Amino acid sequence: MKKIYLDNGATTMVDPAVVKEMLPFFSDVYGNPSSIHQKGQEAKRYLTEAREDVAKKLNAGYDEIIFTSGGTESDNLAIKGVAYANRDKGNHIITTKIEHPAVLNTCKALEKEGFEIKYLGVDNEGFVILDDLRKAITPKTLLVSIIHGNNEIGTIQPLEKIGNICREHGVMFHTDAVQSFTKVPINAKKVPVDLISMSSHKIHGPKGVGALYVRKGTKMASIQHGGAHEFKLRAGTENVPGIMGFAKAVKLSSDSDAKRIAKLRDRLISGIEKEIHDVKLNGPRGEKRLCNNVNIAFANVEGEALGSYLDVSGICTSTGSACSSHSLEPSHVLLAIGLDKGLANGTLRMTLSRFTTEEEIDYTIGSLKKYVEKLRKISPLKRVLKDVL
C-alpha cells in the first residue's frame, strides 16, 4: 500500500540531513551554554551560530532571535510579553477571527485579566480588511496580532500594508509566521513588523523548538521566570540539539523548493476541480496562497469520512488544524470566510512538502474522485454547490 503524507501543515518529516546535524549535540557537544567551562562555551559558540543562521533568513540581528519551545510559546511570549510590559499605556489588543488557537486562546486568557480584545472579521478569501483594522485602533491599542500564512486556508496577509498602518498609529505588530516562515520571504529590515513567531517542525526540523523575532527596542516582559537565558526574555536551558536542527532546516530551505511545491499545489487543485464536480477551493489562488496549502470543500460529503477512506488507502490528510482536529465544531476559519456548517464539515486540507512527488499528487486525485463518488451515493444530502454559496 502506498504511503502518502499530505498533512505537512500539522508537522513535517525531519530531514535526514537535520538528524545528522543534531546527533553530535547529544553525546559530544553536550555542555550547558551558560556554563563557563570549555564544554559550556563550545555549546555556546554553536548556539550563537544557529541564532545567526535563523536571523539571516529574516535579515535580522542575531540578538533579535529568542529561541523557544515552538510556535505556541512564541505566540504567548509575544502577546503576553507586550501586554504585561506596556499595561500602563493601554489594554487593547487587535487580532482576527482566523488566528491559530495559540493566539486566540492567549487573547482569551488576557480578556480574563482585564484586557480588551477586538477580533476582526475577514473577507471570503480570508484577507483582513485594512479599513476595518484602521477603524479598530484606539488610543489604548497596544498590539496588533495577525497571522501571516493561515494554517487552514493558506491565505498570505500583506504584512507590509498591515505594518504601515500599525506604524502610523504607534502600535506594535506581531505576526504568527509558523506556516509561512521559509516559504514566504520576510525581510525584517524592510517590513514594519515587531515580533515574528516561528516553528521548527513545520520546516523539516525537530519538534519542540521554535523562535520569536523581537525587533530591537521592543518593550517586552518575560512570562517565564528563572535564569537570564535568551537575553532575559525566555528562562530555561536552551535545547541545543533541537536548535541546531532548527537552524539546519532553515539553511536547507530554498525559494526553488517553494516554487516547485507551488506547482504541485496547483496540479492538485486543478486536478480535483477537473475530475470532481461541486467542489470549492477555500482561500485565494496563486501567489496570495501558501505554496503547500490546498483546502477544498466537497458538497454532500462528510470530511471526516473522506479523510478516513484516504487514510485506509495510505494518504494522510486533515480536516483542519491539527491543534483543533478533535473538536466536533466546524473550523472557526471556514465559518469566518462565510462557509455554512455543511460545507465546512465537508472540507479537506492537504498540505505538501518538498518531499511530495507528482506521482503522489496524481494518485491522490484519483483516490479523491473514487471516494467522493462513493460517499455521495450514500449521502442524504443532494445540494448543488452553487445553491449554497
Answer yes or no: are the C-beta atoms of 281 and 328 closer than 8 Å.
no
Q: How far apart are CA 162 and CA 176, in angstroms?
A: 13
Q: Other CB atoms closer than 10 Å to residue 135's CB: what's the count?
A: 11
Count of beta carbons in the 10 Å neighbourhood of residue 132? 15
DSSP tag of 128: B
Task: Please indicate whether residue 316 is annotated as part of the active site.
Answer: no
Closest by CA to 173, choosing from 151, 199, 141, 200, is 141
Q: Please measure the distance between the N-terminal and C-terminal CA atoms of the chain and give it in whole angstroms.
A: 37
Whether 100 contacts 147, CB under 8 Å: yes
Cβ–Cβ under 8 Å, residues 177 and 198 = yes
Cβ atoms within 10 Å of 325's Cβ, excluding its own: 15
Pairing of strands 141-145, 172-176: parallel
* Cα–Cα distance, 320 to 330 (Å, whole number): 9
Give yes or no for a contact between 110 and 102, defined as CB atoms under 8 angstroms apart.
no
Residues designated as active site: 323
